[in-house]
Amino acid sequence: MRVAQVSAHTSPLAPLGGRETGGMNVYVLELSRELAALGYEVDMITRLDGDLPRVEQVERNLRIVRIPAGPAAPVEKEAIAASLGEFTDELLRFTQREGRGYDIVHSHYWQSGRPGGVLARRLRVPHAVMFHTLGEVKNRARITEEEPKDRIRAERGIARRADAIVTASPHERQLLEMYYGADPARMRTIPCGVDLNLFQPLERDDCRAQLGLPPNAPVLLWVGRLEKLKGVDILISALAELEEPDVTLLIVGGDDRAAALKGELQRQAEAAGVAANVRFEGPVAHDRLPLYYSAADICVVPSYYESFGLVAVEAMACGTPVVASRVGGLVSTVIEGVTGYLIPWRCPEPFAEKLEVLLHNPELRANFSRAARTSVERFRWRNIALQVAGMYDEAIARRRSRLRPNEGAGFGKEAYEAAVLAGR
Ligand code: UDP
């Protein structure tokens, strides 16, 4: 069985912690690896963005295919739209040249939904989609710049035409049904996974020594792509309300392109008198993160929205309690009063209150820590990949049962793109 994982705007192999490299990159790579280990032949298809091989064998059964479209250099996510038509043409050409096709096409994020949908049509195989974030939901959070109407229309068209949609949480599923009219019968809620071998509790004192942190003072941790939607401003306000003077807050992630937001946060911390407590670490390699999670007393996820929130699950896998916003996927991963606390969004005071409760109570922290590790067993990648594979089987069987000779023929790139862009 051959599977195409389409991730047009960002490579699953790109370094993490940049403006556009986070959960989705981890998801595509880890899911692909696990499917490959299960015996699927997987191609991760992305845009060529540097002097890199067009096709590269990453592991057994797993290749990365880089499609030339636009400049062979990194470009802003917003600018990728201009190259999507070329990306689609080149992708079709690549598949034709190889002459093997795929049994299913799985697209990630709305920008991949267009080329992925065309490829699936051409091959007359099912198109599975995972959106990761939705324009309509970002707009409703009203914290970032307005997402363009074209994006929302295209998402609607992709959702309506997809044979299967993976949602990372029941909440995302509701949103797709409510705002996008997606058919519930084609949606499957399958959470994201976590690498439980990499993310394990490590010896705290040792981790603190390695990171140059004091052995006994409280340490809070935030990890992610540094962007407004992540709510780091709420965390800094909460930090300023804590009674303890010697708390360290580590901020992990945020490359040069996040410099403006970093500057804003630094100014906010200065004005609130906590600048000396905040350490900006920049992006940290994924496999070094267990060191950070294990060194911290609490991992804080104050996002305005999170469709899943891998960071919370990674922290819990390392036995670190989580204090998170009560939004999106976090509601189904953090267990209130057992592995952490969920706080109504945009509210620094209750964040501060729950942080105090945990910081003052080592025994409670230890209980949360044990429960946290156990609670994430359900996110083991093997389980997740098996659920995704089950969804592929269903979509393939459904399609075979209703495919008539010549169906799909004559519905070419232009017609598909026009339908998607019109939100049909
Ligand atoms: N991450 C990383 N290094 C960094 C910052 C982030 O490896 O410096 C990873 C982090 O471990 C997690 C992902 O990026 O796996 C962020 O995923 P999440 O679902 O929390 O947020 P998203 O990027 O999807 O908004």
Ligand 1 probe mutation, 192, 225, 308, 332, most atoms within 8 A of CB: 225
Tell me the whole-structure pTM to 2 decimals: 0.94
Whether 406 has a pLDDT exceeding 70, the answer reads no
Ligand 1 probe mutation, 192, 229, 262, 311, most atoms within 8 A of CB: 311
Give the list of residues 6+ apart from residue 408 with CB closer than 8 angstroms, or none: 121, 122, 124
- Residue-wise pLDDT for 179-220, tens only, equals 999 999 999 999 999 999 999 999 999 999 999 999 999 999
- Residue-wise pLDDT for 126-185, tens only, equals 999 999 999 998 888 777 778 889 999 999 999 999 999 999 999 999 999 999 999 999
Q: What is the mean pLDDT of the chain?
A: 94
Q: Which of 308, 328, 323, 326 is nearest to 379 (CA)?
A: 308
Q: How far is the CA of 405 from the centre of ligand 1 (A)?
A: 44
Q: Which of 14-28, 38-52, 338-352, 397-411 bottoms out in mean pLDDT, i.e. has the lowest?
A: 397-411
The whole-angstrom separation of Cα 119 and Cα 29 is 21
Whether 404 has a pLDDT exceeding 80, the answer reads no
Q: Ligand 1 site: residues with CB under 6 angstroms?
A: 16-17, 22-24, 26, 223-225, 252-253, 283-284, 286, 289, 308-311, 314
Top pLDDT among 78 and 344 is at 344
CB of 172 closer than 8 Å to CB of 134 = yes
Give the list of residues 6+ apart from residue 29 with CB closer than 8 angstroms, or none: 12, 13, 44
Ligand 1 probe mutation, 289, 291, 332, most atoms within 8 A of CB: 289
Percent of the chain with pLDDT over 70: 98
pLDDT for 408 equals 52
Q: Which of 73, 93, 91 is nearest to 4 (CA)?
A: 91
Whether 307 has a pLDDT exceeding 70, the answer reads yes
pLDDT band at 407 (very low <50, low <70, confident <90, very high): low
The whole-angstrom separation of Cα 153 and Cα 420 is 7
Sheet holding 41-47, edge to edge: 55-59, 62-67, 41-47, 2-6, 104-108, 127-130, 164-167, 187-189
The whole-angstrom separation of Cα 406 and Cα 149 is 34
- Residue-wise pLDDT for 338-373, tens only, equals 999 999 878 899 999 999 999 999 999 999 999 999
Cα 386 to chain centroid distance, Å, stands at 19
Tell me phi and psi for residue 245, to 5 degrees.
-85, -20
**What residues are paired with 249 via a beta bridge?**
220, 278
Q: How far is the CA of 16 from the centre of ligand 1 (A)?
A: 7
CB of 20 closer than 8 Å to CB of 10 = yes
